[in-house]
């Protein structure tokens, strides 16, 4: 067998597999990154706004389950990405004796207008942009509100302490001549 043909038989399945895997893995990683950020924000929300619940829920076991859940969701949501690409011989390049050019093209599934409209456009934007953004916006607003309210209470408490210490000082100053 010609060595070039042997290289082709070895390289072709490997290239197709790696291309599909890298494409899907990049989307899985992006989804995981987005939802780990959301999970950390939820944990911060619980710690700041509901500290008693936070102590019960936010521990190393809960973190492990959260990471497992986010990873599972990311893989399942992006499972179709493994089938969106096909590796084909580039028709624009002439057949060479010692080389061949390959290109990535959308698969039949990825070229389907219903798939493009429902999954690639609406579902992906909903899951990857709108829901995480709204979650981060709302929870961070609650966190900021809670911190501001806590600082106002602290300022009021601090003012009361200063007033009380001034009163005690004045009391001792006025009491001194009597003693």
What sections of 50-130 are H helices per DSSP?
A: 51-57, 60-77, 108-111, 113-115, 124-125
Q: Where are the domains of the chain?
A: 3-175
CB 47 within 8 A of CB 132: no
Class of domain 3-175 (CATH, top level): mainly alpha
Instruction: Say which DSSP state 104 is in.
Output: E
Strands 85-89, 102-106: pairing is: antiparallel
Share of the chain above pLDDT 70, in %: 70
Cα distance between residue 96 and residue 4, in whole Å = 11
93-138 pLDDT, tens digit each: 666 555 666 777 888 998 899 999 999 999 999 999 999 999 999 9
- Model-level pTM? 0.72
Q: Which of 74-88, 97-111, 159-173 tops mean pLDDT?
A: 74-88
Predicted confidence at residue 86, as pLDDT, reads: 82
Helix (H) or strand (E) holding 12: helix 3-49
């Amino acid at each position: 067998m010609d060595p070039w043909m042997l290289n082709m038989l070895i390289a072709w399945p490997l290239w197709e597999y790696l291309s599909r895997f890298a494409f899907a893995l990049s989307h899985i990683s992006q989804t995981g990154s987005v939802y780990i950020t959301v999970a950390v924000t939820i944990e911060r929300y619980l710690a700041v706004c509901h500290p008693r619940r936070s102590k019960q829920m936010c521990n190393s076991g809960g973190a492990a389950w959260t990471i497992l859940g986010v990873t599972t969701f990311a893989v399942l949501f992006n499972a179709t990405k493994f089938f969106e690409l096909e590796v084909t011989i580039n028709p624009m390049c002439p057949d060479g004796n010692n080389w061949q050019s390959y290109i990535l093209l959308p698969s039949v599934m990825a070229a389907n207008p219903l798939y493009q409209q429902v999954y690639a456009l609406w579902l992906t934007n909903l899951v990857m942009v709108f829901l995480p953004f709204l979650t981060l916006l709302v929870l961070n607003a609650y966190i900021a509100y809670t911190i501001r309210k806590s600082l106002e209470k602290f300022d009021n408490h601090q003012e009361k302490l200063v007033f009380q210490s001034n009163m005690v000082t004045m009391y001792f100053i006025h009491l001194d001549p009597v003693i």
